[in-house]
A and B are shown apart, each in its own frame.
Chain A
Amino acid sequence: MKISTKFALVCSTAMIGTAAFGEAHMDTYTIGITQNNVGVDSYQTTYEQAFIAAAEANDNVEVVVLDAGGDVARQIAQMEDLIQQEVDAIIIWPTNGEAVIPAVRKASQADIPVIVTNSNIAEQGFDFVASFSGPDNITQGSRSAEIMCDRFKELGIEDEAQIVQISGQPGYTTAIERAKGFEDRLPEVCPNVTLMETQPGDWNREKSQQVMEAFLVKYDDIDGVYAGDDNMGVGALNAAKAADRAEGITFVGATNFAVGYEAMAAGEYWGSIYQSPVDDAEAALQTAIDILNGEDVPFLNYFDTPKITQDNMDEFEKPVF
């Protein structure tokens, strides 16, 4: 415990040094970021690399890059550190949408604009946030519904198709919003498609594979699977392949992963939503800079996440994660 405290002290001291140096230049902004859990998945790893690269490419920006390691308490401490260092703006990727609100309020009271990135904080904290930069999960869900429906129309089964849904981790905003977007949009575009059941796959390929195995036992006829991300979608695909039933099933995911992209190229997986961590990181930094420049930035500053299917996948590069 002692060692880590000392280490943190050394780190903060070093960072204060950097920050002070940064302020010596005119028109240079110091922007602090506290991330959720870098390294836990490739998306977050790529995000951090892209964020640093974008900051380095911009001479007017100095960044203090921190990572909470998924720990709420550490993230709150990092927020306080950044406030102490008097950075010009703070970008936060919340570890928890509720628990970080007091820290966000504190920054806002210290007149430091806070930009929330990737996943928003809970609504009661909106007053203290300058802008949210990230993907629109509801739109992603409804686009997945459209992809699914369009495919069923091509196959001529839009009036009888039966589907199942494998959602993300229960309680997680991204999971809830994607499911909502999908469930609201599907009956609008394909009113006769039945969503038979939804079960969570916890963003986990293995868990999703187990859920799909149970679905395959339970339902003799499954025409489509909507998964909250490609990782789970590929888990479901693996289960269907093992049961020799993958041929007749349309798989649609979200957050196109490299495995999903490959499965699409192999003709086994139909479509997904292309969400680039590079776009995500660059949008967050740009939002912070725009706010510091006094520009008008919408409160919900979404970056675009287009549809990707076997038909148009050539237009997209293979995701690095």
Chain B
Amino acid sequence: MAELTKKGVAGFLARQGILVAFVVFMIVFAIANPRFIDIDNIFGVIRSSAILGVMALGVTFVVIGGNLDLSVGSMMSFSTIVVLDLHDKIGPTLGIPVMFAMTMALGAFIGFLVGYLKLNSLIVTLGMLSAIHGLTLTYSGGKNMDIADKEGTWFGIFGQGSIAGVPVPIIMFALLAIVLSIILSRTPFGRKVYAVGGNGIAATFSGIPRARIVFMTYLMSSFCVATAGLIQASRSLGSQNTVGQGMELEVLAAVILGGASLLGGAGTIFKTVIGVLILGFIQNGLLLMGLAFYAQYVVTWIIIILAVWLDIAAKRGRLWSPIA
């Protein structure tokens, strides 16, 4: 019986090492500054992380499918700028769906290049990173985009509103996480994403339409990006052209931190969410500790490495192994 429990604990640790790491960090930060676990602060951090998180959900699909998406940062700037511009031109009711269509057209284009033309996703999305940035700058003429009438619009609800005390961005993040988690783990499509990412050739010979699956992952990623852009735009009702700049790497860090394999075929939505939360709470925790900000970059890196190590150690069942 005792052994069975031990096995049970070990098995849990092996599966959820990253979750354990997350809890450890939360406790350390909470001891350093009790305000860290203040409910307002926790909501604040999750709300701030929601934008990164929503993008990471979509990229999880792309990564599990065996590809990369480095274009999400500039794509998010694009959707933010577009929806703010359309808000004043054609109104939010029409502007939001048009922005989603425009962003998803970009996603479809990337999906076509990577899925059907089988171009290397790193090259395609790295190129799209600057191409979309250029598109955004052309669209906006380089100017900041601001909603003219900030008081008289309902557009702020996506970023600033709350339902039953819970901020709307958190609700949107949670809903999207649940739906995408079900799609990934409970539907034939989800299984096919794993199959294509795990072994694309084998998947093709098994009759899985590899090109279409890859195409779909990019389409989903761009849908998530559009949602993130909507939250971003609504949160500040105005934006710079560079609002999403550099976020592609944070998104990728969160996805990888959550344990998705860069080689494809492995990862879950739940773990990506944990990865996102770790990044968000590290940032906030270090701020609350009042650490000098030059040191924060270094400490952030150390914590990420610690988390990855704890995750691997839990899988091995020991902290260090001479083999692997």
Contact = CB atoms under 8 A, between A and B. Distances in A.
Nearest to B291: A199
Interface stretch (A18-26, A38-46, A84-92, A292-300): A38-46
Contacts of B44: 213-214, 217
A259 B238 contact: yes
Interface in A209-225: 209-211, 213-215, 217-218
A44 B144 CA distance: 11
B239 A205 contact: yes
A257 B137 contact: no
A38 B141 CA distance: 10
Nearest to A211: B287
A243 B141 CA distance: 34
A102 interface: no
B300 interface: no
B283 interface: yes
B142 A206 contact: no
B236 interface: yes
A44 B137 CA distance: 12
B240 A258 contact: no
A292 to B, nearest CB: 30
B41 interface: yes
A170 B294 contact: yes
A242 B160 contact: yes
A121 to B, nearest CB: 23
Contacts of A45: 141-143
B288 A218 contact: yes
A278 to B, nearest CB: 15
A235 interface: yes
Given A205-B239, A231-B240, A214 B287 contact: yes
B10 to A, nearest CB: 37
Interface of A (DSSP majority class): helix
Contacts of A199: 287, 293
B287 A41 contact: no
A97 interface: no
Contact of B236 (A206, A218, A257, A321): A206
B244 to A, nearest CB: 9
Interface in A191-245: 197-200, 204-206, 209-211, 213-215, 217-218, 231, 234-235, 238, 242-243
Interface in B20-76: 33, 35, 38, 40-41, 44, 48, 51
A42 B238 contact: no
Contact of A217 (B141, B142, B242, B288): B288
Contacts of B232: 206
A217 B144 contact: no
Interface string B283-295: 1100110100110
Contacts of A170: 293-294
A40 B146 contact: no
Interface in A102-132: none
B-side binding surface: helix, strand, loop or mixed?
helix
Contacts of B79: none
B243 interface: yes
B241 interface: yes
B35 A259 contact: no
A235 B240 CA distance: 12
Contacts of A210: 48, 283-284
A300 B294 CA distance: 30
Nearest to B44: A213
B31 to A, nearest CB: 15
Interface in B230-266: 232, 235-236, 238-243
Given A38-B142, A42-B144, A257-B144, A217 B35 contact: yes
A258 B146 contact: yes
Contact of A259 (B51, B146, B283): B146
Contacts of B38: 217
A115 to B, nearest CB: 23
Contacts of B238: 205, 234, 259
A213 B242 CA distance: 21
A74 to B, nearest CB: 13
A210 B290 CA distance: 14
Contact of A40 (B241, B288, B293): B241
Interface string B206-245: 0000000000000000000000000010011011111100
Contacts of A242: 160
A40 to B, nearest CB: 6
A174 to B, nearest CB: 16
Given A206-B232, A214-B288, A44 B142 contact: yes
B33 A218 contact: yes
18 contacts: A40-B137, A41-B144, A42-B143, A44-B142, A170-B293, A205-B243, A206-B243, A209-B48, A210-B48, A213-B48, A218-B33, A218-B35, A218-B288, A218-B290, A242-B160, A258-B146, A259-B146, A321-B143
5 smallest beta-carbon distances between A and B, as pairs: A39-B142, A45-B142, A214-B287, A39-B137, A42-B143
Given A217-B38, A238-B236, A257-B144, 19 more contacts: A39-B142, A40-B142, A41-B144, A42-B142, A42-B143, A197-B290, A205-B239, A205-B240, A206-B51, A209-B235, A214-B288, A217-B35, A217-B41, A217-B288, A218-B33, A218-B287, A234-B236, A234-B238, A259-B146
Interface of A: 38-42, 44-45, 170, 197-200, 204-206, 209-211, 213-215, 217-218, 231, 234-235, 238, 242-243, 257-259, 321
